[in-house]
Amino acid sequence: MQTSIAALIKPFVCDTGGLLKALHAVQNTYGYIDAVAVPVIADVFNLSKAEIKGVISFYEDFRRSPAGHHVIKICQAEACQAVGARDLTEKIRSALGFGGPFSGCDTSVTGRITLEPVYCLGLCASGPAAMLDGVPRGRLNSEDFTREIKALENGAEG
Protein backbone atom coordinates (compact mmCIF):
# COMPACT_ATOMS: atom_id res chain seq x y z
CA MET A 1 0.00 0.00 0.00
CA GLN A 2 2.79 2.44 0.89
CA THR A 3 4.46 2.01 -2.51
CA SER A 4 1.21 2.54 -4.35
CA ILE A 5 0.44 5.67 -2.30
CA ALA A 6 3.88 7.09 -3.10
CA ALA A 7 3.39 6.40 -6.81
CA LEU A 8 -0.10 7.91 -6.70
CA ILE A 9 0.99 11.21 -5.13
CA LYS A 10 4.44 11.72 -6.68
CA PRO A 11 3.05 13.57 -9.75
CA PHE A 12 1.65 16.30 -7.47
CA VAL A 13 4.89 17.19 -5.66
CA CYS A 14 5.84 20.12 -7.92
CA ASP A 15 2.27 21.37 -8.52
CA THR A 16 0.89 24.49 -6.88
CA GLY A 17 -1.44 23.12 -4.21
CA GLY A 18 0.11 19.71 -4.78
CA LEU A 19 -0.37 18.50 -1.23
CA LEU A 20 -4.13 19.06 -1.40
CA LYS A 21 -4.26 17.37 -4.81
CA ALA A 22 -2.32 14.43 -3.41
CA LEU A 23 -4.59 14.12 -0.37
CA HIS A 24 -7.65 14.18 -2.62
CA ALA A 25 -6.08 11.52 -4.84
CA VAL A 26 -5.45 9.26 -1.84
CA GLN A 27 -8.98 9.75 -0.54
CA ASN A 28 -10.54 9.23 -3.98
CA THR A 29 -8.57 6.01 -4.41
CA TYR A 30 -8.96 4.51 -0.93
CA GLY A 31 -12.09 6.25 0.37
CA TYR A 32 -10.22 7.92 3.24
CA ILE A 33 -6.70 8.87 4.32
CA ASP A 34 -5.43 6.03 6.45
CA ALA A 35 -2.83 6.63 9.17
CA VAL A 36 -0.47 4.43 7.13
CA ALA A 37 -0.58 7.03 4.33
CA VAL A 38 0.50 9.98 6.51
CA PRO A 39 4.24 9.12 6.82
CA VAL A 40 4.38 8.23 3.12
CA ILE A 41 2.84 11.58 2.15
CA ALA A 42 5.14 13.40 4.59
CA ASP A 43 8.19 11.69 3.09
CA VAL A 44 7.21 12.38 -0.52
CA PHE A 45 6.45 16.06 0.18
CA ASN A 46 9.41 16.48 2.59
CA LEU A 47 7.08 17.64 5.38
CA SER A 48 6.54 16.44 8.92
CA LYS A 49 3.78 14.00 9.82
CA ALA A 50 2.35 16.74 12.06
CA GLU A 51 2.06 19.09 9.06
CA ILE A 52 0.22 16.45 7.03
CA LYS A 53 -2.11 15.64 9.95
CA GLY A 54 -2.73 19.38 10.40
CA VAL A 55 -3.86 19.76 6.79
CA ILE A 56 -6.05 16.65 6.97
CA SER A 57 -7.73 17.83 10.17
CA PHE A 58 -8.16 21.42 8.93
CA TYR A 59 -10.22 20.50 5.85
CA GLU A 60 -13.56 18.92 6.74
CA ASP A 61 -13.83 16.89 3.53
CA PHE A 62 -10.81 14.71 4.32
CA ARG A 63 -11.75 11.49 6.09
CA ARG A 64 -9.53 9.62 8.52
CA SER A 65 -11.76 6.56 8.61
CA PRO A 66 -14.02 4.85 6.08
CA ALA A 67 -17.42 6.45 5.46
CA GLY A 68 -20.66 4.54 5.42
CA HIS A 69 -22.30 3.37 2.24
CA HIS A 70 -24.52 6.48 2.35
CA VAL A 71 -23.20 9.90 3.43
CA ILE A 72 -25.60 12.52 4.76
CA LYS A 73 -24.29 16.04 5.25
CA ILE A 74 -26.76 18.12 7.27
CA CYS A 75 -26.44 21.89 7.20
CA GLN A 76 -25.92 23.39 10.64
CA ALA A 77 -25.65 27.04 9.55
CA GLU A 78 -27.91 29.70 11.04
CA ALA A 79 -30.37 29.90 8.13
CA CYS A 80 -31.06 26.16 8.34
CA GLN A 81 -31.14 26.22 12.14
CA ALA A 82 -33.85 28.88 11.97
CA VAL A 83 -36.13 26.50 10.08
CA GLY A 84 -35.54 23.26 11.98
CA ALA A 85 -32.11 21.84 11.14
CA ARG A 86 -31.35 21.01 14.77
CA ASP A 87 -34.63 19.11 15.14
CA LEU A 88 -33.95 17.28 11.87
CA THR A 89 -30.42 16.41 13.00
CA GLU A 90 -31.51 15.12 16.39
CA LYS A 91 -34.32 13.00 14.92
CA ILE A 92 -31.93 11.36 12.47
CA ARG A 93 -29.28 10.84 15.16
CA SER A 94 -31.87 9.29 17.45
CA ALA A 95 -33.22 7.05 14.69
CA LEU A 96 -29.70 5.81 13.97
CA GLY A 97 -28.90 5.27 17.65
CA PHE A 98 -26.22 7.94 17.99
CA GLY A 99 -25.69 9.40 21.45
CA GLY A 100 -24.00 12.57 22.61
CA PRO A 101 -23.64 15.88 20.83
CA PHE A 102 -23.31 16.18 17.06
CA SER A 103 -19.81 17.51 16.69
CA GLY A 104 -18.24 15.40 14.03
CA CYS A 105 -18.62 12.49 11.72
CA ASP A 106 -20.78 9.62 13.00
CA THR A 107 -21.10 6.27 11.23
CA SER A 108 -23.85 3.86 12.16
CA VAL A 109 -23.05 0.50 13.74
CA THR A 110 -24.00 -1.24 10.49
CA GLY A 111 -21.61 1.00 8.54
CA ARG A 112 -24.39 1.94 6.14
CA ILE A 113 -24.87 5.60 7.13
CA THR A 114 -22.36 8.36 7.88
CA LEU A 115 -23.79 11.59 9.24
CA GLU A 116 -21.69 14.76 8.99
CA PRO A 117 -22.33 18.37 10.01
CA VAL A 118 -21.64 20.99 7.34
CA TYR A 119 -21.86 24.74 7.54
CA CYS A 120 -23.73 25.88 4.46
CA LEU A 121 -24.70 23.93 1.40
CA GLY A 122 -25.78 27.07 -0.45
CA LEU A 123 -29.45 26.21 0.01
CA CYS A 124 -30.17 28.92 2.57
CA ALA A 125 -33.60 29.75 1.12
CA SER A 126 -34.54 26.07 1.11
CA GLY A 127 -33.68 24.96 4.63
CA PRO A 128 -33.43 22.77 6.44
CA ALA A 129 -31.04 21.36 3.87
CA ALA A 130 -28.89 18.28 3.55
CA MET A 131 -26.86 16.44 0.97
CA LEU A 132 -27.54 12.73 0.59
CA ASP A 133 -24.85 10.88 -1.35
CA GLY A 134 -23.82 14.11 -3.07
CA VAL A 135 -27.35 15.14 -4.03
CA PRO A 136 -28.56 18.40 -2.43
CA ARG A 137 -31.95 18.25 -0.73
CA GLY A 138 -33.91 21.22 0.58
CA ARG A 139 -37.05 22.03 2.57
CA LEU A 140 -36.71 18.74 4.38
CA ASN A 141 -39.53 17.49 6.55
CA SER A 142 -37.84 15.94 9.56
CA GLU A 143 -40.28 13.02 9.87
CA ASP A 144 -40.18 12.11 6.17
CA PHE A 145 -36.41 12.47 5.84
CA THR A 146 -35.81 10.50 9.05
CA ARG A 147 -38.04 7.71 7.73
CA GLU A 148 -36.06 7.71 4.46
CA ILE A 149 -32.74 7.52 6.33
CA LYS A 150 -33.98 4.68 8.56
CA ALA A 151 -35.00 2.77 5.43
CA LEU A 152 -31.48 3.23 4.01
CA GLU A 153 -30.00 2.07 7.32
CA ASN A 154 -32.18 -1.02 7.16
CA GLY A 155 -30.96 -1.88 3.68
CA ALA A 156 -33.49 -0.24 1.37
CA GLU A 157 -31.87 1.35 -1.66
CA GLY A 158 -33.43 4.21 -3.48
* Per-residue pLDDT, 158: 56
What's the rounded Cα separation, in Å, for the pair 83 and 74?
13
Return the pLDDT at 98: 87
How far apart, in whole angstroms, are the C-alpha atoms of residue 140 and residue 128? 6
Contact at 8 Å (CB) between 87 and 95? no
Domain ranges for the chain, please list them: 2-58, 70-153
List the helix and strand counts (H, then E) for the chain: 7, 5
pLDDT of residue 106: 87
* Segments of the chain with pLDDT less than 50: none
pTM score of the predicted model:
0.79
pLDDT at 25: 97
Q: How far apart are CA 136 and CA 110, in angstroms?
A: 24
pLDDT for 156 equals 78
CATH code of the region 70-153: 3.40.30.10
pLDDT in tens, 124-133: 999 999 999 9
Q: In whole angstroms, what is the distance from residue 29 CA to residue 12 CA?
A: 15
